[in-house]
């Protein structure tokens, strides 16, 4: 009955867009994260290494001006004559290393407490010593290293966080919508009222799906719109529109999960708690907030079972990594299969009323 | 022509509790039936089985000749069920609310607006349902139940929680609905409501129908004493006892009350003695019928 579908969708949409709390948590709240992360990491460069020069170190002092200029971008040097105090500051982690010259030896004092920083500073000085030796020997280097990023050179943090945070926002929106509609309508006996009217269950479910997809697309438009302003500078790649089918099947997957959460809850409070318990850890484990590349293998394995991981992966692929439509077919398939299986379980558990 | 509603030997248990324990009755076309009983008597369960919301363990229900269970989408447009006042879509206005329900039945918006007028909510059409008073919300929920012009209307305790003014307004509305030829079934735990509205009343307790009939007939069938009271001092207690040897005479210091089965004789005797100061005459009520049937006080 298409008439029922239209009017139920309209009633649901009006209910949503008039609900300030729901609007805040589905649209404004994720957007705040985008502004926050996008702003903090906007001009992100490699952090400088702090080094104390004890006494005179010829390697640093007699450096040609152009090399020194380049070095200043990665190294901050302060000078002291107090060796004991300098070593103490390294020990406390206030600086990354202290360097001194003993005859022809350059001695680099570092702390093992921060392995990443000490490795960086060791690598840096190793390279400085090599370069200095070559220059002293008057040798022209046979090889030169030039590092080049595979992505568009404009790639900034915003490129990574936009698909991730958008995925989280869509997951939250769809999941809460399904869970709360089911529980609130059951509690208020609105489901009973609909059961007494000639509309079918699938009309009610269909209205929920339509409204949630519209909300997800509104979220997407706002997210892309805000991230694209010059201050943040999001640049979408050619097949970004493939994100739309991904968002639609992603919405289906999280609606089904929300329906399942709603089947186990009697009150809106319980439904909210269960939905949060599922969606928040999933966001962390799916790389929605930060990349998973550095995460342990077992965690990566777990994340492969989470629908949000596939939604975020797929959206990153087509929105910013420049991959084509065919590259996200696996993600589309996985999300669709997930939605199918979970919906089937939710339908089996469906109750019109509290027992 | 068969009755609009036919219920035969309905049973429904929850664990050890027999919520409905062998209920049978019929409702004719255009009749106003009240199901009266205290909380837990089984009246709501009975109604829900008739509406098709619950399955009976055994027994048979026919509404307009059809079985309401399992969910019968051919029957549903012909019945209207009023639920609690809170069964609305969130954050919609009264008009949006009734239009949404109307469209579920394919009823045009014009008819929905007319229904809003019938229940006197035109000036509240653009008010959100959350801001309506209890009585207004109750009237809107009845309007939503009637918007598709059903032949049979079910009302579950429609006036609970309303003030006396609101109850009177609603009673008028319910009478109108019935006078338009609709069959109405209502549950209530208010005796006065059943007496004021219903053609027939079924008195239920512990899952059974104890008695069914027109309220006046039930009261008359009780053959209870009429209680005639006058102001204390209008006539002496001893004098009254001598005059009316078959009656019970009592005086509580405010009123002297004569409980008699021959009220005409008592009244004329009192009138002859000019002893009618502060007169009041009370016949038996449904409350007395209930007391007589169950042997205990009515607990609403």
* Boundary-marking domain end, from A78, A110, A137: A137
Same structural domain, A249 and A336? yes
Element containing residue B227 per DSSP (H, E): strand B226-231
DSSP string computed for B238-288: HHHHHH-TTSEEEE-SSEEEEEES-HHHHHHHHHHTT--TT-EEE---HHH
Residue span of the structural domain in which A127 resides: 49-137
Residue range B68-80, pLDDT digits in tens? 988 999 999 999 9
Residue A354 covered by a domain: no
Same structural domain, A36 and A101? no
A278, A347 contact by CB (below 8 A): no
Number of structural domains found in chain A = 2
Tokens of B134: 């209890």
| Per-residue confidence (pLDDT) for residue A56, from 0 to 100 | 86
Same structural domain, A54 and A36? no
| Per-residue confidence (pLDDT) for residue A104, from 0 to 100 | 82
DSSP string computed for A174-190: HHHHHHHHHHHHHHTTH
Residue range A148-181, pLDDT digits in tens? 655 554 456 888 889 999 999 999 999 999 999 9
Whole-number Å distance between alpha carbons of B27 and B12: 20
How would you classify the pairing of strands B280-282 and B226-231?
Answer: antiparallel
Distance from CA of A265 to the nearest CA of B (A): 19
Phi and psi angles of residue A98, each rounded to the nearest 5 degrees, phi first: -125, 140
Residue A116, Cα to own-chain centre: how many angstroms?
23
Residue A150 covered by a domain: no
Residue range B120-159, pLDDT digits in tens? 899 999 999 999 988 889 889 989 999 999 999 999 888 8
Residue A145 covered by a domain: no
What b-and-e string marks burial along B217-244, b requiring 16 or more CB atoms within 10 Å of the CB?
Answer: ebbeebebbbbbbbebebbeeeebeebb
Residues of B in contact with A8 (CB under 8 A): 100, 104
| Per-residue confidence (pLDDT) for residue A190, from 0 to 100 | 92
Residue range A305-321, pLDDT digits in tens? 999 999 999 999 999 98
Residue A279, Cα to own-chain centre: how many angstroms?
14
Same structural domain, A97 and A229? no
| Per-residue confidence (pLDDT) for residue A131, from 0 to 100 | 80
Q: Measure CB to CB from residue A192 to each of B53, B90, B144 and give the nearest one.
A: B53
More confident residue, A170 or A75: A170
Q: Measure CB to CB from residue B104 to each of A19, A192, A198 and give the nearest one.
A: A198
Same structural domain, A336 and A187? yes
> Are A7 and B89 a contacting pair at CB < 8 A?
no
**Which residues are CB-contacts of A200 (< 8 A; sequence separation ≥ 6)?**
A1, B73
Residue range B282-295, pLDDT digits in tens? 888 888 888 888 77
- Whether ipTM > 0.90 holds is no
Q: Is A48 helix (H, G, I), strand (E, B) or coil?
A: coil
Q: Is A97 helix (H, G, I), strand (E, B) or coil?
A: strand
Distance from CA of B109 to the nearest CA of A (A): 11
Domains with residue ranges and CATH for chain B: 5-215 (3.40.50.300), 225-283 (3.30.70)
Residue A235 covered by a domain: yes
Whether residue B223 lies within 8 A of chain A, CB to CB, comes out as no
Give the best residue of B85, B93, B96, B104 to mutate against chain A (max A CB count within 10 A). B104
Strands of the sheet containing B58-63, edge to edge, are B17-27, B5-14, B58-63
Same structural domain, A252 and A115? no
Give the Å distances, CA to CA, from A299 to A250, A282, A295, B205: 22, 11, 6, 62
Q: Measure CB to CB from residue A18 to each of B52, B76, B91 and give the nearest one.
A: B91
| Per-residue confidence (pLDDT) for residue B91, from 0 to 100 | 95
Under the banding of pLDDT at 50, 70 and 90, the label for residue A90 is confident
Q: Give the predicted TM-score (pTM) of the model.
A: 0.78
Nearest CA among B11, B54, B28 for reference residue B151: B28
**Which residues are CB-contacts of A323 (< 8 A; sequence separation ≥ 6)?**
A237, A239, A317
* Boundary-marking domain end, from A107, A137, A167: A137
Residue range A23-55, pLDDT digits in tens? 999 999 999 999 888 887 766 555 678 888 888
Whole-number Å distance between alpha carbons of A322 and A324: 7
Residue A185 covered by a domain: yes
Under the banding of pLDDT at 50, 70 and 90, the label for residue A196 is very high
**Which residues are CB-contacts of B103 (< 8 A; sequence separation ≥ 6)?**
A3, A4, A6, A7, B109
According to DSSP, the residues that pair with B156 across neighbouring strands are B187
Whole-number Å distance between alpha carbons of A42 and A34: 11
Whole-number Å distance between alpha carbons of B53 and B51: 6
Under the banding of pLDDT at 50, 70 and 90, the label for residue A10 is very high
Same structural domain, A314 and A186? yes
Same structural domain, A64 and A170? no
Give the best residue of B66, B80, B103 to mutate against chain A (max A CB count within 10 A). B103
Calculate ∠ Cα A16-A282-A218, nearest 5°: 30
Same structural domain, A130 and A201? no
| Per-residue confidence (pLDDT) for residue A2, from 0 to 100 | 64
Residue range B215-265, pLDDT digits in tens? 988 888 887 788 899 998 888 888 888 888 888 888 888 999 988 888 888
In chain A, the N- to C-terminal Cα span, in Å, equals: 29
Same structural domain, A17 and A35? yes
> Are B89 and A15 a contacting pair at CB < 8 A?
yes
Segments in chain B forming alpha helices (H): 43-51, 94-104, 109-118, 134-146, 164-179, 191-197, 215-221, 237-243, 263-272, 286-294
A133, A258 contact by CB (below 8 A): no
Residue A241 covered by a domain: yes
B142, B81 contact by CB (below 8 A): no
Q: What is the mean pLDDT of chain A?
A: 87
| Per-residue confidence (pLDDT) for residue B296, from 0 to 100 | 67
Residue A29 covered by a domain: yes
Same structural domain, A228 and A171? yes
Q: Does the pLDDT of residue B160 top 90, yes or no?
A: no
| Per-residue confidence (pLDDT) for residue A141, from 0 to 100 | 73
* Boundary-marking domain end, from A75, A110, A137: A137
Same structural domain, A190 and A209? yes
Question: Residue A88: which CATH number?
Answer: 3.40.190.10
Residue B152, Cα to own-chain centre: how many angstroms?
16
Q: Measure CB to CB from residue B96 to each of A14, A189, A352 and give the nearest one.
A: A14
């Amino acid at each position: 009955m298409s008439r029922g579908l239209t009017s139920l969708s309209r009633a649901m949409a009006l209910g949503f867009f008039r609900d300030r709390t729901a609007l805040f948590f589905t649209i404004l709240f994720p957007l705040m994260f985008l502004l926050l992360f996008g702003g903090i990491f906007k001009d992100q460069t490699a952090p400088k290494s702090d080094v104390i020069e004890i006494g005179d170190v010829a390697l640093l002092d007699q450096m040609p001006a152009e090399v020194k200029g380049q070095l200043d971008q990665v190294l901050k040097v302060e000078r002291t004559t107090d060796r004991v105090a300098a070593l103490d500051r390294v020990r406390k982690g206030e600086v990354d290393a202290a360097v001194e010259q003993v005859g022809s030896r350059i001695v680099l004092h570092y702390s093992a407490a921060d392995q990443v920083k000490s490795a960086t500073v060791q690598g840096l000085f190793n390279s400085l010593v090599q370069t200095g030796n070559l220059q002293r020997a008057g040798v022209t280097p046979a090889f030169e290293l030039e590092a080049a990023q595979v992505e568009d050179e404009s790639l900034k943090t915003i490129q990574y966080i936009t698909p991730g945070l958008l995925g989280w926002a869509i997951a939250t929106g769809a999941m809460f919508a399904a869970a709360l509609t089911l529980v609130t309508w059951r509690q208020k006996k609105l489901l009973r009222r609909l059961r007494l009217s000639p509309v079918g269950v699938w009309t009610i479910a269909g209205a929920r799906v339509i409204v949630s997809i519209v909300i997800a697309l509104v979220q997407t438009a706002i997210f892309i719109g805000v991230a694209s302003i010059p201050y943040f500078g999001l640049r979408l790649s050619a097949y970004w529109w493939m994100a739309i089918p991904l968002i639609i099947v992603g919405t289906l997957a999280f609606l089904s999960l929300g329906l399942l959460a709603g089947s186990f809850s009697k009150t809106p409070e319980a439904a909210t708690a269960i939905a949060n318990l599922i969606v928040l850890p999933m966001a962390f484990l799916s790389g929605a907030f930060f990349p998973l590349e550095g995460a342990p293998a077992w965690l990566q394995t777990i994340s492969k079972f989470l629908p949000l991981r596939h939604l975020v992966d797929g959206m990153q692929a087509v929105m910013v990594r420049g991959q084509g439509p065919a590259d996200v077919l696996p993600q589309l398939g996985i999300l669709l299969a997930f939605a199918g299986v979970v919906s089937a379980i939710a339908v089996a558990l469906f109750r019109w009323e509290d027992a | 022509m068969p009755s609009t509603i036919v219920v035969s030997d309905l049973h429904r248990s929850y664990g050890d509790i027999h919520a409905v324990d062998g209920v049978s009755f019929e409702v004719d076309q255009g009749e106003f039936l009240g199901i009266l009983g205290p909380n837990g008597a089984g009246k709501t369960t009975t109604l829900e089985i008739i509406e098709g919301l619950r399955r009976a363990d055994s027994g048979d229900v026919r509404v307009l000749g059809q079985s309401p269970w399992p969910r019968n989408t051919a029957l549903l447009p012909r019945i209207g069920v009023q639920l609690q006042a809170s069964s609305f879509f969130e954050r919609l206005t009264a008009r949006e609310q009734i239009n949404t329900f109307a469209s579920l039945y394919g009823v045009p918006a014009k008819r929905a607006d007319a229904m809003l007028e019938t229940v006197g909510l035109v000036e509240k059409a653009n008010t959100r349902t959350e801001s309506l008073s209890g009585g207004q919300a109750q009237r809107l929920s009845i309007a939503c139940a009637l918007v598709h012009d059903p032949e049979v209307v079910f009302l579950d305790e429609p006036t609970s929680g309303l003030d006396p003014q609101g109850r009177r307004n609603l009673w008028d509305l319910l009478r109108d609905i019935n006078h338009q030829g609709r069959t109405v079934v209502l549950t209530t735990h208010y005796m006065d409501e059943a007496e004021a509205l219903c053609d027939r009343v079924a008195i239920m307790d512990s899952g059974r129908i104890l008695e069914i009939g027109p309220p006046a007939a039930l009261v008359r069938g009780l053959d209870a004493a009429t209680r005639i009271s006058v102001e204390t001092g209008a006539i002496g207690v001893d004098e009254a006892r001598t005059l009316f040897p078959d009656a019970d005479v009592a005086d509580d210091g405010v009123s002297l009350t004569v409980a008699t089965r021959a009220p005409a004789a008592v009244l004329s005797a009192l009138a002859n003695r000019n002893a009618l100061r502060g007169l009041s005459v009370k016949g038996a009520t449904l409350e007395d019928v209930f007391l007589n049937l169950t042997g205990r006080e009515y607990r609403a």
